[in-house]
Chain A
Amino acid sequence: MFKKLHDDGAERVTVTIDGREARVPAGETVAAAALIHGLQPFRTSAVSGAPRAPYCMMGVCFDCLVEIDGTPNRQACQVRVAEGMAIRRQDGAGETAP
């Protein structure tokens, strides 16, 4: 869906997106990183199970919710990537903590 205009030479961090490793620019949002690396959909809705992905990218729609490091309901467009971060699709309402 999206591509990078060019390699901006920024520092990179390694994250996993649904288990697959990816090198992404430090400081980028989880949503941007996951869109480029083809996470599709980001989640399924809690009401009907419909597929959802980022819509507004500015934090007002909550359709970009994913599981980050085991915690569901994280707003991918508002969270920045970090070294070692595990990003996963969220199915329906998230699980509570163990």
Chain B
Amino acid sequence: MRGADTLVIGGGLVGAAIAYGLARRGVSTILVDEGDMAFRASRGNFGLVWVQGKGDGMPGYAAWTRLSADLWPRFAEELGEETGIATVYDKPGGFYLCRSEAELAEQETRLQRIRAKNTAPGPDYEVLDHQALAERLPGLGRAVVGGTYCPHDGHCNPLFLLRALHVGHAALGGRYLPNRRVADILPEAGGFTVVTDGGKVQGDRVVLAAGLGSARLAPKLGLSVPVVPQRGQVLVTQRAEPRLAHPTVYVRQTGEGSFLLGDSHEDVGFDEGTTPEAMTFIARRALDFFPYLAELPVVRVWGALRVMTPDGFPVYDRSREHSGAFSAACHSGVTLAAAHAERLAGFVAEGALPAEFRGFSADRFDVQEAA
């Protein structure tokens, strides 16, 4: 198969955003992906473009997340213009709702800690009691004692985002190879050969962005991407007339009108299944937040696998052994899509990650083990 400057492995949100960003910079790209039934966090997520609470313990991640949220409005607009696909992005600010004073206190302390290390200007969050919350979220349940608000938070349709990235990539001349599961990657002088079950592909550079699939492939490039699955179950209701104007961490109303109710956190390996226990739990919490959801029919419940690193922060690396090889893995691929397309792709195109990205290297896990 004819090669390209850069091969991106994995057509989920992370790979597609990078490939799209590369194509915008005129880099010739091939996006290599699996088939219809593959594990895909990108197809099962909650669609939040979320800042509050991110980066507790890693200021660099807080800043990177905030940067992406700042880039999102223009990114969404341009992507929409180029592809004709609206990502339904909206940034009305988002809420984190708490059902106990202890939970509220914990959230406030977390946001303070992040804030203390954050250099970005402007108000980052507000802490609100039930009364103040209820004014902004009419119909709020009595069970909610308070919550926090962050103006940078928003949401989008992550499925349309994924499609737009793919269409945008193709429109800029990028090639897409679905149904090609990568079995092996062979570093060679001046490039890489990627061996798939549908033939070989060659490229000067390679970006490993295969979500959970990256763990197995990384060592072939002298990299480490220690990601494991963490299941999240999500409920979606039938459409309803607009009622909830802001996204919240566990409940949001989509542009189409359906309510998304999230989400569980379970360590169950590669099992995308659903469980009655989680459904009940999610339903109860959602009703605590917004009792007006009571009569809405749930049309679908799904489980999807988060791509989790040991500390929950992203991994971005460039291989020391094979300098043309990069890796990218994160568990907030929606939020970071703008930064991936607009910044990370630029770094890859230039052939090096900036110095401040050192903290994102998977080396950090070796250090922790040694300590």
Contacts and interface: CB of A to CB of B under 8 A. Distances in A.
Touch A–B, Cβ below 8 Å: yes
Interface of A: 46, 71-73, 92-98
B241 A93 contact: yes
A97 B241 contact: no
Interface stretch (B92-100, B199-207, B288-296, B321-329): B288-296
A6 to B, nearest CB: 36
B227 to A, nearest CB: 38
B291 A94 contact: no
Contacts of B257: 46, 93
B57 interface: no
A95 B296 CA distance: 9
Interface string B263-305: 0000000000000000000000000000111111100000000
Given A93-B257, A97-B291, A46 B296 contact: no
A78 to B, nearest CB: 12
Contacts of A92: 241
Contacts of B295: 71-73, 96-97
B186 interface: no
Contacts of B297: 73
Contacts of B294: 97
B131 interface: no
Contacts of B241: 92-96
A93 B238 contact: yes
Contacts of A73: 238, 295-297
Contacts of A94: 238-241
Nearest to A95: B241
A30 to B, nearest CB: 16
B25 interface: no
A46 B293 CA distance: 18
B240 A98 contact: no
Given A46-B257, A73-B297, A93 B240 contact: yes
A93 B239 contact: yes
Contacts of B239: 46, 93-94
The 7 nearest A-B residue pairs measured at CB: A93-B239, A96-B292, A46-B239, A97-B292, A93-B257, A71-B295, A97-B294
A97 B243 CA distance: 10
Contacts of B139: 96
Nearest to A70: B295
Interface in B214-248: 238-241, 243
Nearest to B258: A93
Contacts of B256: 46
Nearest to B257: A93
B196 to A, nearest CB: 38
Given A72-B240, A95-B241, A96-B139, 15 more contacts: A46-B239, A46-B256, A46-B257, A71-B295, A72-B295, A73-B238, A73-B295, A73-B296, A93-B238, A93-B239, A93-B240, A94-B238, A94-B241, A96-B293, A97-B291
A71 B294 CA distance: 10
